[in-house]
């Protein structure tokens, strides 16, 4: 009877354990009472955490008080959570207790541990005449917590993405729905796929203790439609060969294109583009995306009125040799104009230009575009009588005696300024050969200096670079207007320097070589219309204090010092081909600080210093047609170097400079 009763108790207990899940211990034996204990595992069909059965003593029989099973469900918990203790006994009718909890039903039952913060052992003690014990441990571990989960931005338009960011604590794994596992688990971020609908993303984080979830929804809205606000052409009507500016404004568009070979244009929202020159009425279509939104604008092209030259005159039409005349013109419907005889491109519709000094009768032709429309005017030049190959002393230079000044001529007048007397100078003087009088003009616009460079071009004088004292060189560049007696600063030369050469060819100026901590050989072209310097082919070798001049559309540089020795080589520059060609060596001895100028189709070089100490006064003529140097009459004054020289009409002029007696101010005229 007792055996049947006990069997019923065990069956009931197993049913309870099967519901809870875990491990139970039960005993079976034969009628003689010889029992042996064995374990049977019963698993619940659930995802609950497993239980760990207590370690129990096994007994050979059911005699006395026995603990059948003792376990915790779950056996591993998070901080501040509870586990359930379950036990069963046999023959323990007197009493039972669990450490940390107190008395419990001696026959068996369940009880909560209450919230636990540390791993805790629990011991079941049962008494039924004898005392038995069983101990189990509930492990308390850290709990996985999601501290933050966000989407940035939380709202997007179709076709965009958002960034999901998270922060977890005590978690070992994490995944996001629609994305999959993510790392790092603690703090991280990831980009969503391109979204077309509102999407909820769930972050699941877990460790051995628990799992946690958080959900963030990214709201997806349809983008506002692409629209063209306006599409204009300015001007909407042009003459053949002109251009128009296309202008547009769009909203919520991602790209814009214009047909007729314009192509993709930016900025998309607001922009402009210049058409190519138009020769016929043209319709342009602007297409914006998405949606193929279009707008159309037509530009009407009309034939232009013909280019015409209404006047082209010279004033005066007859001049003495060495003087100049002023050309003036007026055009209608012309886009550009050019005058020959080395004047070059001129302004339209009207303008004036100096012929420069003339020594022979010349005919000038203006050509206007479009259509190659031309008109001519002739200036008659009467020769001046003089004794060939002679020097005549003229009025001394109007300023103080000096060396290393700058000189040039403009429209029949000579100009001299800057240099060194007992200090750096910046005064500026005009010489009139018809009256043999010097007149002081406005001081040079830059700082006082010596060893600068100058030339004349299109009725204006130019002066720049040079030494400004205390070992410093200058690169500034200035234009002198004789009519207004004013100086205007222009674009600086490439690098500061002293002892360079300069001359003009046609409508351009040229300057190069010199010294700036080291000797230089670079060579540059100045465009007065654009006020820009353009580097050209370098001179043959670095050169300091060389001599430069121009003859019939070619430039020439000779003599000087290359850093090792004095030179006497002579080179021709072709501005059309941008090349240097060596010519016959200078006829005199090697030297530097000589003076040079050209008269008509001949070039002249003379004076200078030989071997650092010996001033010279020999004077030489170069004929480009024969490539021959011919010695002419020695300079009329004393031997010197660092003098100035220029030509006016059919005469040359040379003066100032340094002699063995010091600086001087005498001034001489040469008749070739």
- The DSSP annotation for 143-187 comes to PPEEEEEEEESSEEETT---EEEEEEES-SEEEETTTEE-S-SSE
CATH number at residue 320: 2.60.40.1930
Q: Would you state the structure tokens that stand for residue 489, as one six-digit string?
A: 């600063």
Same domain, 344 and 451: no
pLDDT at residue 280 in the model: 87
Residue 2 has φ and ψ, to the nearest 5°, of: -65, -40
For residue 526, the Cα-to-chain-centroid distance in whole angstroms is 27
Characterise 559 by phi-psi region: left (phi > 0), alpha (psi -120 to 50), beta (else). left
CA distance 392 to 540: 36
Q: Phi, psi at residue 202, to the nearest 5°?
A: -110, 125
User: What pLDDT, in 10s, does the model give residues 308-351?
Assistant: 999 999 999 999 887 899 999 999 999 999 999 999 999 999 99
Gyration radius from the chain CA atoms: 53
How buried is 463 (Cβ within 10 angstroms: 0-12 exposed, 13-18 middle, 19+ buried)?
A: buried
DSSP code of residue 55: B
State whether 650 and 573 are in the same domain.
Answer: yes
**Could you count the other beta carbons within 10 Å of the beta carbon of residue 183?**
10
Phi and psi of 3, rounded to 5°? -65, -40
Cα gap 583→580, rounded to integer Å: 10
Instruction: Quickly list DSSP for 472-500.
Output: EEEEEEEEEETTTTEEEEEPPPSS-BBS-
Distance CA 502, CA 514 (A): 10
Check whether residue 556 and residue 455 sit in a common domain.
yes
Helices (H), 21-101: none
Q: What is the CATH number of the domain that holds 660?
A: 2.120.10.80
Question: Residue 650 CA to chain centroid, in angstroms?
Answer: 53
How many C-beta atoms lie closer than 10 Å to residue 529's C-beta? 12
**Is residue 625 one of the residues assigned to a domain?**
yes
Same-domain check for residues 62 and 166: no
Instruction: Answer yes or no: do 426 and 530 share one domain.
Output: yes
373 and 416, same domain (yes or no): no
Helix (H) or strand (E) run with residue 11 in it:
helix 2-20
| Cα angle, residue 460 at apex, residues 665 and 393 outer, rounded to 5° | 25
Q: Encoding tokens for residue 671? A: 């008749």
Give CA–CA dist 581/583, Å, rounded: 6
Q: Is 55 a domain residue?
A: yes
Q: Give the count of beta carbons closer than 10 Å to the beta carbon of residue 97.
A: 15
For residue 29, give the nearest of 58, 54, 67, 55 by alpha carbon.
58
The full DSSP string for 505-564 is ETTEEEEEEEESSSEEEEEEEEETTTTEEEEEPPPSS--BS-EEEEETTEEEEEEEE-SS
Q: Could you tell me if 206 and 256 lie in one domain? A: no
Torsion, CA 78, CA 82, CA 88, CA 92, rounded to 10: 120
Q: Which of these three, 287, 302, 317, is where a domain ends?
A: 302
Query: Which sign, positive or negative, has the C-alpha torsion 580, 585, 591, 594?
Result: negative
Structure token pair of residue 213: 């979830």
- Please, what's the largest Cα pairwise distance for the chain? 166
**Structure-token pair, residue 536:** 């050209």
Residue 387 lies in a domain: no
239 and 332 share a domain?
no
* CB 122, CB 102: distance < 8 Å: no
161 in the same domain as 46: no
Q: Which of 326, 352, 382 is the last residue of a domain?
A: 382
Look at residues 56, 651, 213, 60 and name the one whose alpha carbon lies nearest to residue 389: 651
Final residue belonging to a domain, choices 272, 302, 332:
302
In a domain, 466, yes or no: yes
Token pair, residue 149, equals 């989960």
Tell me whether residue 337 is in a domain.
yes
The CATH code of the domain that includes 236 is 2.60.40.10
Does residue 79 lie within any of the structural domains?
A: yes
Answer yes or no: do 454 and 550 share one domain.
yes
CA 268 to chain centre: 22
Q: Which domain holds residue 665?
A: 396-671
511 with 631, same domain: the answer is: yes
Residues of the chain with pLDDT under 70: 1-63, 384
**Residue 480 falls within a domain, yes or no?**
yes
Give how many domains the chain has, as a whole number.
Answer: 5
CA–CA gap between residue 104 and residue 9 (Å, rounded): 18
Cα–Cα distances in Å, from 12 out to 1, 73, 654? 17, 19, 137
Domain of residue 16, CATH code: 2.60.40
Q: Roughly how many angstroms between the first and final C-alpha of the chain, as a whole number?
A: 159
Shared-domain flag, residues 368 and 517: no
Reading the block at residue 294, the tokens are 């279009």
> How many residues are there in the chain?
672
Structure tokens at 256: 């814009």
Q: Are strands 472-481 and 76-78 parallel, antiparallel or unpaired?
A: unpaired
Q: What is the DSSP letter of 585?
A: P
Q: Classify residue 231: in a domain, yes or no.
A: yes
Angle ∠(196,197,203) on CA atoms, nearest 5: 110
């Amino acid at each position: 009877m007792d055996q049947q009763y006990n069997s019923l108790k065990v069956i009931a207990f197993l049913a309870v354990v099967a519901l809870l899940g875990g491990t139970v211990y039960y005993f079976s034996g034969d009628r003689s009472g010889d029992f042996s204990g064995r374990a049977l595992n019963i698993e619940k069909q659930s995802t609950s955490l497993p239980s760990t059965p207590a370690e129990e003593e096994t007994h050979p029989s059911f005699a006395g008080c026995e603990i059948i099973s003792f376990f915790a469900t779950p056996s591993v918990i998070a901080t501040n959570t509870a586990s359930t203790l379950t036990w069963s006994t046999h023959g323990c009718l007197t009493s039972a207790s669990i450490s940390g909890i107190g008395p419990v039903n001696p026959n068996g039952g369940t009880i909560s541990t209450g919230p636990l913060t540390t791993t805790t052992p629990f011991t079941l003690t049962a008494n039924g005449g004898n005392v038995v014990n069983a101990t189990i441990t509930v492990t308390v571990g850290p709990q996985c917590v999601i501290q933050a989960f966000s989407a940035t931005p939380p709202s997007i338009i179709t076709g965009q993405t958002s960034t999901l960011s998270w922060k977890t604590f005590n978690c070992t794994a994490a995944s996001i729905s629609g994305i999959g596992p993510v790392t790092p688990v603690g703090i991280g971020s990831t980009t969503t796929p391109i979204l077309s609908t509102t999407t909820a993303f769930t972050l699941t984080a877990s460790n051995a203790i628990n799992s946690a979830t958080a959900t963030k929804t990214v709201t997806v809205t349809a983008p506002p439609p692409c629209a063209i606000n306006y599409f204009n052409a300015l001007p909407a009507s042009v003459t053949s060969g002109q251009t128009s500016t296309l202008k547009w404004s769009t909203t919520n568009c991602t790209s814009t294109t214009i047909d007729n070979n314009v192509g993709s244009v930016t900025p998309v929202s607001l922009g402009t583009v210049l058409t190519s020159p138009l020769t016929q009425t043209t319709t342009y279509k602007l297409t914006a995306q998405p949606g193929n939104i279009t707008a159309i604008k037509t530009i009407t092209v009309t034939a232009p009125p013909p280019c015409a030259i209404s006047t082209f005159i010279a004033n005066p039409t007859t001049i003495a040799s060495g003087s100049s005349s002023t050309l003036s013109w007026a055009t209608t419907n012309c886009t550009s104009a050019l005058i020959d005889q080395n004047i070059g491109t001129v302004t339209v519709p009207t303008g004036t230009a100096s012929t420069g000094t003339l020594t022979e009768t010349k005919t000038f032709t203006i050509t206007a575009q479009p259509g190659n429309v031309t008109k001519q005017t002739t200036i008659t030049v009467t020769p001046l009588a003089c004794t060939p190959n002679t020097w005549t002393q003229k009025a001394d230079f109007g300023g103080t005696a000096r060396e290393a000044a700058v000189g040039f001529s403009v429209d029949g007048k000579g100009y001299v300024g800057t240099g060194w007397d007992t200090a750096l100078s910046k005064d500026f003087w005009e010489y009139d050969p018809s009256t043999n009088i010097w007149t002081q003009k406005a001081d040079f616009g830059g700082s006082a200096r010596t060893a600068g460079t100058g030339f004349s071009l299109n009725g204006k004088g130019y002066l720049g670079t040079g030494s400004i004292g205390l070992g410093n060189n200058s690169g500034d560049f200035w234009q002198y207007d004789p009519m207004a007696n004013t100086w205007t600063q222009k674009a600086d030369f490439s690098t500061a320097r002293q002892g360079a050469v300069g001359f003009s060819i046609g409508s351009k100026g040229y300057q190069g070589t010199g010294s700036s901590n080291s000797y230089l050989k670079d060579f540059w072209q100045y465009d007065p219309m654009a006020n820009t310097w353009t580097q050209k082919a370098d001179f043959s070798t670095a050169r300091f204090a060389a001599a430069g001049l121009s003859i019939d559309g070619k430039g020439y540089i000779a003599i000087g010092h290359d850093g090792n020795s004095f030179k006497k080589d002579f080179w021709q520059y072709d501005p059309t081909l941008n090349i240097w060609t060596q010519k016959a060596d200078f006829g005199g001895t090697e030297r530097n600080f000589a003076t040079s100028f050209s008269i008509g189709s001949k070039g002249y070089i003379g004076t200078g210093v030989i071997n650092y100490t010996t001033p010279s006064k020999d004077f030489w003529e170069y004929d480009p047609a024969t490539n021959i140097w011919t010695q002419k009459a020695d300079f009329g004054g004393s031997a010197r170097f660092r003098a100035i020289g220029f030509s006016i009409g059919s005469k040359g002029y040379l003066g100032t400079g340094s002699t063995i007696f010091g600086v001087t101010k005498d001034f001489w005229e040469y008749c070739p």
